[in-house]
Chains A and B, each alone.
Chain A
Amino acid sequence: MNAGILDFERKILELETKLDELRSLSKLQDTDFSSEIRKMHKKLNTLKRDTFSKLNRWQRTQLARHPARPYALDYIREIVPDFIELHGDRAFGDGPSIVAGFGTMDERSVMFIGIHKGRDVKEKMYRNFGMPHPEGYRKALRCMRLAEKFGHPIITLLDTPGAYPGIGAEERGQAEAIAHNLKDMASITVPIISVVTGEGGSGGALALGVGNRVLMLENSVYSVISPEGCAAILWKDQTKVEEAAEAMALTSRDMHANGLVDEVVREPVGGAHRDPVLAAHILRRALRRNLVELERLSKGELVKQRRAKFRKMGTFMEQPA
């Protein structure tokens, strides 16, 4: 856990190191430090709770982007160990920023589709840092259709800075690919659960996010533009990221309070990266519960519920002020 320690994590990690030292010391010297250990343990827990309940929206964004944060494949492999990945949009390419495939969850087949950022430099390059090209979105839709054909539910995991802004992406219709997914996801007749696991980067995330249920992990964010982009355009100052993050109300709690997502999924204290296995287990439980509820709905009801949910989004005034 030495890669990319965030400022507000440093104190906690220091205290944890001290605690570990004290524990090994007590073993080595055969002295009783148990009361000191207990005190320090208590102090650590308070510090953790304090730190993580008081994070501002920009710190929350940093946590959502934490380099050690579990990525889509980490969750998928933990939740469905028999995951079998499928490739290609059958038109141009594979789009490896997005992974898709079948897996077995509680004896039912599920189509998992996730945006995967990549861990080491080589994988990050291969995954294009989780910024999909159009073929990734088209592959995702092809796999959703596949799940629909066999009546299997779909789970999408969203974690992207955004759809890739590049020459090839524009040439191959980035906008069309996203738009097409938005429209077709509205008509799919199997349950869809979408989970923002890290960064919900605008249209590039929403293109996989038209679910019957939309969940957000506690420390994930979802926004129309990145705080950096927003600061650059509205403040004309790239450094105003804290202001931009605050203004956009992009945290899981904000999104839930604004009625734009259905549920916030708890993370291990300190964030999912502090205990990825536990994070996956908590997520699995939330997915299971939602799946069971959605499986009671007919095909028609699923489509209707999904459309009605997004239909309601947006606040406006109808009368002249």
Chain B
Amino acid sequence: MSWFTKKKIPLGKSERRGGVPEGLFLKCEGCGEMVYAAEFEANWRVCKKCGKHHTMPARRRIMLLIDEGSFEEADADMQAVDVLKFKDTKRYRDRIKSAQKESGEMDAIVCGNGNLDGYPVEIAAFEFGFMGGSMGAVVGEKITRTIERAVNNRAAVIIVSCSGGARMQEGAFSLMQMAKTSAALAELEEAGLPYLSVLAHPTAGGVTASFAMLGDVIIAEPDALICFAGPRVIEQTIRQKLPEGFQKSEFLVEHGFVDIIVKRDELKASIASLLRHMGTKMARRVSPANA
């Protein structure tokens, strides 16, 4: 699912790793306007005209949230294993390879520690460009380790979810990652450390039905699809059209499952102000690099 006409963006290494492509125009998925790519990136991939929040690569997300120069990546080399020798119309092994090439990432998540406005945090950000941000054993393991490091280092956990759910090609191994990550969060809770769950468009299936919905505070980006079952599955089951705005961020706030909707350019400040109240058991804040 790519929000932009792909041919117009030659995916150079620097761009894949979160750099800025130059001299290109992109078409907004929200309003259809052509926007200047550099300006669009500078605005964190939010359309200035209509406010549409476009999918953001994991590393850009980390740049958005983590103080400059403070990010240390963890488990950067971890890769998926094709345990089931899974083959549908394509071999899983080949899917992994092409996803790595396309996204520039080893799997669907980037994790590490850093400071957020000086607060020590362990962050995990999904890479939607890698097989739709699907959760297999690598994603589950890296999230679990992120939580465990937070317990050891007395840091806050921030997970930015953006995922279609469990990765079918790893069968029940994927399913069990839901239990594994959720159990780790029970330990974080016992340690009295905060977990902020940020939900970007889209967050679905086994990701929603595990750690994504377990935040002490749950923040959603505007107009994000957040669901257990996807709209298409539901429409097929109940054989009727779904109401406008169903399963969108605003709908989840209305039904009591999301705390706040925060625009991308305010996300860092909002998390920082929450951590001010939630950090009683956390290691000390360092003076913010950009203060």
Binding site for B on A (CB under 8 A): 163-167, 169-176, 178-180, 182-184, 186-187, 202-203, 206-207, 209-210, 222-225, 229-230, 233-236, 243-244, 247-250, 255, 258, 260, 306-307, 310-311, 313-321
Contact = CB atoms under 8 A, between A and B. Distances in A.
A318 B242 contact: no
Interface string B122-147: 00000000000000111011001000
Interface of B: 75, 77-81, 83-84, 86-89, 136-138, 140-141, 144, 166, 168-180, 182-187, 189, 205-206, 208-214, 227-229, 233-234, 237-238, 242-243, 246-247, 255-257
A50 B251 CA distance: 54
B228 A248 contact: no
A181 to B, nearest CB: 9
A233 B176 CA distance: 20
9 contacts: A170-B229, A186-B183, A203-B228, A210-B179, A230-B168, A249-B84, A313-B179, A316-B137, A318-B77
Q: Which of A164, A184, A203, A260 has the most CB of B within 10 A?
A: A203
A170 B180 CA distance: 23
Contact of A317 (B79, B177, B210): B79
A182 B182 CA distance: 6
A163 B179 CA distance: 16
Contact of A260 (B75, B87, B172, B229): B172
B286 to A, nearest CB: 30
A73 B130 CA distance: 43
Q: Which 10 A-B pairs have the closest CB atoms?
A: A314-B137, A165-B229, A186-B183, A182-B182, A234-B88, A175-B208, A175-B228, A313-B176, A178-B209, A179-B213
Contact of B183 (A234, A255, A307): A307
A182 B177 CA distance: 11
Given A248-B171, A313-B177, A224 B166 contact: yes
Given A166-B234, A224-B172, A317-B79, A247 B180 contact: no
Q: Interface on chain B toward A: helix, strand, loop, or mixed SS?
A: helix
B182 A183 contact: yes
B137 A247 contact: no
Given A172-B255, A178-B209, A316-B137, A167 B238 contact: yes
B183 A169 contact: no
B228 A174 contact: yes
Contacts of A170: 227-229, 234, 246-247
B209 A174 contact: yes
Contacts of A172: 255
Nearest to B77: A320
A164 B173 CA distance: 22
Nearest to A162: B229
A174 B247 CA distance: 12
A169 B247 CA distance: 11
A167 B234 contact: yes
A302 to B, nearest CB: 13
Given A176-B257, A186-B182, A203-B205, A310 B176 contact: yes
Contact of A248 (B75, B141, B172, B246): B172
A170 B225 CA distance: 12
Nearest to A171: B255
Contacts of B89: 234-236
Given A186-B183, A314-B140, A316-B141, 4 more contacts: A203-B175, A224-B168, A250-B171, A316-B81
Nearest to A183: B182
Given A175-B208, A316-B79, A234 B168 contact: yes
